[in-house]
Structure 1
Amino acid sequence: MDWLEDDTRDSLKQLKDLVEITLKPTKGHEIIIVSGIEEASTRKALAKCLLAVATQVIQNDFQLSTLLLGKSQESVDKTINETRVLIDGTHANAWIAEAIFFILIVVAEEMHPPGKMLVHTFPHTSATRQGLDGTGIYYDRHYERLGAAITEAKNYDNLNNAVSVSVKSFQKVATDQLGAELRSVFYGLLPFLSAENKSKLSSEFWTETCTYIPALFFVGDPKYRKCQERKTFSNYSIPRTHKLLVLNEFKDRDTFYQEIKEEMQNQMKEWIGNV
C-alpha cells in the first residue's frame, strides 16, 4: 500500500488544515509551537496518516526480508505482528510522536522556515533504536543551496528534561563525529531527489548548511515557560534561524495516545488485506 494513495493524500490535506503551527523567535533560536494535534476533529485524519507511515516502514523491512528469506507465510505473519507492536506495543507512544513529527515536517512548510523539505527519512521501525531519529535534505532559501535537516523527536513527561536530553543529541553532529552515518543516510535518500537537485549537492554539504530540530512531545504544566530561550541550544554555532525547537504540549496525553491507537487498530484490517 503506497502511503500517498488517494485517501491518505486527502487525510494529509485535512491534517495540514487542522493543525496550527506558530513561530516564536528567541535571541538564540526559533521555537515552533504545534497545536491542534490533540483535538477530536484531527484524530481520524491523523490516525490514517500514522497507519500509512507504519505500513510503509514495515513494508520496507518486509521487502528486504522477502529478498533475503523468501516470501513465506512465516515472514508475512512476522511482518503483521511487527506492525501491531509498532502501533500498540510498549514503545508505541514514542514511535507515534516520531511519526507525527515526520508527517508534519514533510507536509507543512511552516515546520521548517529555512526552506522546503525535499526528502526525509522515515521513522525507525523501533523507537528505541540508537542513532539519529531523522535526517532530511532541504533547499535553503537563505543560502540558496541544499542543506541537511537533523531531527530528534522525544516523548517526555517533563519539558525541561526533554530539552536537556534532545539538545545534547546534536553535539556529535556539531563536532563532526557522525560523518560516516550521515554519508550513509544521505546516500540512501539520493534516489528520491530530482536530477536537478542531485546536481546541487556538494561533498559533505551538511557541514556547510544544516538545521537542528528537536521536536518535543510533553505533558503540559502551567509552570513551564515554553517560549523562553534555551541557552544550551543557542550555543550551537549554526545560525539562530536554523535552530528550531518544536513543542507540542499535551492536555491529556494518555487519552490522546489511547484514542489514536484505537483508531489505527480500527483501520488496520484493511491494511492487512493489502500486504
Structure 2
Amino acid sequence: MTSPLASDAVELTALAEAARRPAPLPIPGTANFRAAAAGAPGLRPGVLYRADAPARLGDEGRASLEALGIVRLIDLRSDEEVADAPDDVAGTEITVHRIPIMAGSVRDAVTTIAGGGLPDLRSLYVMMLRDGGPAFGRALALLAEDGASVVHCTAGKDRTGLTIALALLAVGIDLDTVVADYARTEANLAGDWVDTMAAKIAQYGLTLEGSLRELVAGSPADAIRGALTEVVLADGSADVYLDAIGVDAALRSRLRDALRAR
C-alpha cells in the first residue's frame, strides 16, 4: 500500500516533470497554466509560469501551486475582472500582486465593439506596449525576485503574453522561442474556456466568431511578432525599450540571475 507521503511525492514529481514540457499543466480550474517557454535552452525551469485566471483552483489546485513552489501571483487584470473572479489562493502562503494593464472585461469589449472600435490583435499589442510600459516594468521587477512566479490575466494570452515576452527577451531568449510560446495559447483555450466566454458574450447579444473570436481566444504568431518587432525591437535589441520602462541594466542582470539556468 502506498503511503500518503509517497503519493504526494509522486504527484510533485509528475508536476515538476510536466512543467518541463510546453503543454498546459493539470492544475484544476485552469486551461492555460503552463511553464513559460518550457524547455527553452538556457531558461531555468520551475521559476516562471503563465496562466489564465486561477479563480477556481479549489483545494487540489491550491495544493498543486504550492507543490510547484509558487510564491507569488502577478495579476494583470482590471478591478472589475478581479471582483468577478478573484484569485483562489486563500489559505496559502502565495502573495498576490495586482498590476492592472488596461481594462479587459467582457463589458469593456462590448463597449468597444458598440463604438465600432474593435482592434486587431497586433494593433492592440502595439497600444499596450506603448501605453503600459510602467506596469510591465513593475511586473518584470517582481519576476527578478527570489521564488517562482505565475503571471496571469483572464486568458493568459494578451497582457500575460506581452509580460512574459518582455521577460524572456530581457534575459536573452530569442524571438522565435518567445513567439512560439505565445502561439500555443489558442489551442489551450479551445473547448470549455472558449465555451464559457461565448456564453458570457451571448448575454450582450454578440456571437463569439470571426474577428471577435480571434481577439478573445486567438494567438496568431504574427500578431505578437509584429508588435514586438515594431515597438520593443525597433532599435535592434530590447534594451532601449526596457530602459524606457524602468527595466535598466541592473534589473536585467537580476532577471537573468532569476530566470536563466545556473
Instruction: Tell whether the structures are fold-level matches, with TM greater than 0.5.
Output: no
Structure 1 or 2: larger strand share? 1
